[in-house]
Amino acid sequence: MTDNKTLFEFKDIHVEVEGKEIVSGVSLSIAPGEVHAIMGPNGSGKSSLSNALMGHPSYTITKGRASLDGKDILPMAADERSRAGLYLAFQYPLAIPGVTVANFMRAALQSHRGKDADMSDFRKLFKAEMKALNIDLSFATRYLNDGFSGGEKKRIEILQMSMLNPKMALLDETDSGLDIDALKVVSEGINRFQNNEKGLLLVTHYQRLLNYVKPDQVHIMMHGKLVKTGGPELALKLEELGYDWVEEELKAGAGA
């Protein structure tokens, strides 16, 4: 990337959960229009990193800094980070019984636009986005994620992203639990969202999502650190060989 503008950047991020360091000094810089992927085995700290960047109170950032559009986001609470243009699609979205998808979505969008902002376009926008993601309109009046299948929840996460239209989206294992048709629909949703002003960070265990959403850079995360960076071919290599060779390389490097 020749563009020297930076959209989203974090440096030397350390994250603790219940007093234990899970992420140990991770840095990344994402320019507008770029798609990055962080891949890693289970327990490598990928999800902790995305939760911490979004501001989950249980994930304490003990060191490092992070900025969106040049603004320091670490002093902000999660809702302020959201309104500043950061989005996290959750790996396991929670159910909120009694709150319909439509009411929740309206409240979320209203919070972004401001308490007194006009919402008269909401229904039209909401319906159009649901249609684009092949979500049955009956979901509008169902309770958020309550009894939804894994795939339905992931689609609703992408629906929320389309509606809130953030500058920078972190997608945590968005491909898990999706069958091939759902994966296509979700990928199309992600690609429709992405443009040359936005940033995407895909956090994933497998590379199959990357067949549909092409990353500019792939980073491998292990033991709380980014240990290797490459192009899309790195993801393919992981698909073929797993993570063991990375581990081997690390050991060799450490021994050298």
Residues in touch with another protein (CB under 8 A): 54-58, 77-79, 81-83, 87-88, 90, 93-94, 96-99, 103-104, 107-108, 111-112, 143, 160, 164
CB of 48 to another protein, least distance (A): 13
Nearer to another protein, 78 or 250 (CB): 78
Nearer to another protein, 72 or 79 (CB): 79
Nearer to another protein, 29 or 111 (CB): 111
Residue 52 exposed, middle or buried by CB count within 10 Å (0-12, 13-18, 19+): buried
CB of 113 to another protein, least distance (A): 9
CB of 244 to another protein, least distance (A): 33
Report d(CA 37, CA 169) in Å as an integer: 12
Nearer to another protein, 167 or 184 (CB): 167
Residue 254 exposed, middle or buried by CB count within 10 Å (0-12, 13-18, 19+): exposed
Nearer to another protein, 88 or 209 (CB): 88
CB of 171 to another protein, least distance (A): 13
Helix ranges (H only) for 133-179 are: 150-164
Nearer to another protein, 24 or 103 (CB): 103
- Element holding 248 (H helix, E strand): helix 244-255
Structure tokens, 97? 């019984």
Instruction: Write b or e for each residue in 10-26: b if 16 or more Cβ atoms lie within 10 A of its Cβ, otherwise e.
Output: beebbbbbeeebbbbeb
Q: What phi and psi values does residue 71 have, to the nearest 5 degrees?
A: -100, 135
Cβ-contact 189, 25 below 8 angstroms = no
CB of 80 to another protein, least distance (A): 9
CB of 87 to another protein, least distance (A): 8
Nearer to another protein, 11 or 112 (CB): 112
Cβ-contact 163, 108 below 8 angstroms = yes
The DSSP result for 182-225, as a single string, is HHHHHHHHHHHH--TT-EEEEEESSSGGGGTS--SEEEEEETTE
CB of 51 to another protein, least distance (A): 8
